Amino acid sequence: MKTKLLLSLLTLLTVFFLFARVEAAPNTFDTINSIEELYKSSETCAGCHGGIYNQWKSSVHESALLHSLDGIYSFIVEGIERDPARKVRPLKPEIMKCLGCHAPVMEYASDKLVKDVVDAIKMAGGKTADKDGKQKAKELLSHLNVSCIVCHSLKAVPPPNFPEKQTMYGIKGHGSTPFHSIKKTNFLDNAIFCMQCHGVYTAPDREQIICSTIAQSYRDQYVAAGGQVTCQECHMKKHNRGHTFPGAYVLDTLKESMTLEVSARAIKTQSYGDKKWIPAAAITVDITNNAGHRIPDGCLWTSRVLLTVTATGENEKVIWSARKEFFEPGIDIEGNRRYDAWEIKDILDYSLPPRKTTTEKYYAVFPEKEKLVKIEVNIVYIHKDGLQFPVNTERKVLKYN
Ligand code: HEC
Ligand code: HEC
Ligand code: HEC
Ligand code: HEC
Ligand code: HEC
């Protein structure tokens, strides 16, 4: 009798533990296709949400892995494979330190698929003569991005709650379709929804990865200074931008982000020795950041805003010039300037703060003979790969007699 009771208790316990374990262990998949059976690719939404799909297709979210392939490639070959500490850790949590934001569905990848994806990143990002292999690798990686389901399911429910299966979360939350259920949420309309990825990532091992720094400057500089506009209002609702999410790769958004004002006054200054009157100028450059965060961003060190002030005299000859870069250098705990998101621990901020006008003042002295001086002020946004966008230009003409 006693043994029978003990036995049934044991079975009960086993059943309980089995179920508890099934609940706790997340499903993992061996191929991208099998992940996509559950976590649909954006292509499956295109038939019914064609307009939105086409907008999303033109956004950086669509290529959130391939677009930053060089950085993620070097994290694998330099950051993981050459770092004795990282090399011995399980691969998945390490690579999730990038893919957690760049390709969140990889959370559901098995160790085998993680290895396949890492190999594909090495093949696609490295130097190889195997053109077919590279093409195949890129095809696989093109499935990994910030897809519809990432935003409308996986990230649509504020933690610690989880999204319901086969449910799409939206801000309207009405209408129906046999393809998916619809739930209303205000979370999608909150800045904090975007800040989940546009800020710090804390890994399960407590390592903090700082790649984008938008969230911090949005809250601590923009909102703290009275800014009330959300990410969605500037990046989606304004000018019906919808799901194109324009940022620093779209000239119109860049132009909107910075107002340039230049004052230049011709003055004559006296030289010390022979006391001759020499042409000079007092130049003031005001740059106002109209965005909701610092400019530039990127993966910390990658982007720069370059200000150049150039004075030309007779025959268009450059007679004076000045330049200044606005950017964020990252430094590691040894005090070395680093170019790698995974090693940056501190940030020096030389960027343009939001809701503020940054003023640069110059006192330029020109050659004695100049009678007419043209001043040109340029702002250029420079991406890590050298891609440049001319944001703004102002000109002034100064006359001397
Ligand atoms: C917290 C989420 C998050 C994590 C974790 C993360 N990133 Fe990023 N990453 C972003 C966001 C958001 C951007 C876009 C930033 C921008 O343009 O303002 C970005 C941009 C980049 C870019 C620049 C793309 C460009 O436009 O020049 C590179 C390269 C990059 N990430 C590499 C990495 C690497 C390597 C890792 C892992 C060590 C990593 N990221 C981890 C969110 C993240
Ligand atoms: C980066 C996150 C993100 C991604 C990726 C994304 N969405 Fe959205 N989507 C949003 C947000 C936020 C809103 C609410 C916009 C607003 O406040 O106006 C929205 C709104 C919508 C709406 C309702 C808006 C309307 O005009 O009816 C639909 C439908 C939708 N998304 C479908 C999609 C589909 C389909 C895809 C993929 C092709 C997609 N979304 C990709 C964040 C995203
Ligand atoms: C068979 C057609 C169909 C397919 C396929 C489909 N949807 Fe929908 N979806 C609808 C209809 C109909 C509605 C309700 C009316 C509306 O908002 O257009 C809707 C509503 C939504 C909403 C709610 C918008 C809001 O603000 O409440 C979101 C988000 C959404 N769909 C996302 C997706 C995503 C992501 C996919 C792909 C994984 C997808 N849909 C695939 C037909 C479809
Ligand atoms: C799941 C993570 C994730 C979420 C949520 C997310 N983003 Fe992104 N976003 C990224 C990543 C990663 C990139 C950079 C991809 C790259 O450059 O490789 C990016 C890029 C962008 C860019 C283009 C950056 C550039 O350099 O031009 C804009 C703009 C943007 N996101 C706005 C938003 C807004 C607004 C929201 C909220 C509605 C949002 N994102 C939500 C991950 C996310
Ligand atoms: C007041 C309008 C405004 C608000 C609010 C705003 N942005 Fe922006 N954002 C801009 C403009 C304009 C640009 C283009 C200039 C630039 O690239 O910095 C931009 C650029 C970006 C970029 C590309 C940055 C780069 O230099 O690579 C990302 C990513 C981005 N925004 C995300 C966000 C997120 C996330 C939020 C909310 C936390 C947000 N933005 C709030 C106006 C805004």
Q: Specify whether 271 is located in the same domain as 390.
A: yes
Single out the residue in 155, 183, 214 at which a domain terminates: 155
Final residue of a structural domain among 155, 188, 208: 155
Instruction: Give the model's pLDDT for residue 1.
Output: 44
Cβ atoms of 249 and 60 within 8 Å: the answer is yes
Ligand 4 center–CA 241 separation, angstroms: 14
- Residue 198 C-alpha to ligand 4 middle, in angstroms? 7
CATH number of the domain where residue 358 is located: 2.60.40.1470
Residue 69 within any structural domain of the chain = yes
Is residue 280 located within the same domain as residue 138? Answer: no
Looking at residue 382, what is its pLDDT?
96
Q: Which of 197, 383, 216 is nearest to 301 (CA)?
A: 383
Alpha-carbon distance 172 to 191, whole Å? 17
User: Can you name the residues that pair with 398 across neighbouring β-strands?
Assistant: 373
**Which DSSP helix (H) or strand (E) runs through 23?**
helix 2-24
The pair phi, psi for residue 204, each rounded to 5°, is: -55, -30
Ligand 4 centroid – CA 203 distance (Å): 19
Residue nearest (by alpha carbon) to ligand 3 atom 34: 45
Q: What are the tens digits of pLDDT across the range 196-235?
A: 999 999 999 999 898 888 999 999 999 999 999 999 999 9
What's the whole-model pTM score?
A: 0.93
- Residue 262's domain comprises 243-399
Name 280's bridge partners: 267, 365
Q: Does 205 reside within a domain?
A: no
For residue 193, tell me if it sits in a domain. no
Q: Is 392 domain-assigned?
A: yes
pLDDT tens-digit series, residues 281-305: 999 999 999 999 999 998 876 799 9
Ligand 1 pocket: which of 72, 102, 201, 213 to mutate (most atoms <8 Å of CB)?
102
Report whether pLDDT(18) > 50: no
pLDDT digits over 309-366, tens only?
999 999 999 999 999 999 998 888 888 887 777 777 788 899 999 999 999 999 999 9
Whether residues 143 and 260 share a domain: the answer is: no
Residue 8 is predicted with a pLDDT of 54
* Sign of the torsion angle spanned by Cα atoms 53, 58, 59, 61: positive
Which of 155, 173, 202 is at the close of a domain?
Answer: 155
Total tally of structural domains belonging to the chain: 2
- Greater confidence, 166 or 59? 59
Phi and psi at 365, nearest 5°, equal -115, 130
Residues 366, 266 share a domain: yes
Positions of E strands within 249-333: 258-270, 277-289, 304-312, 318-326, 330-331
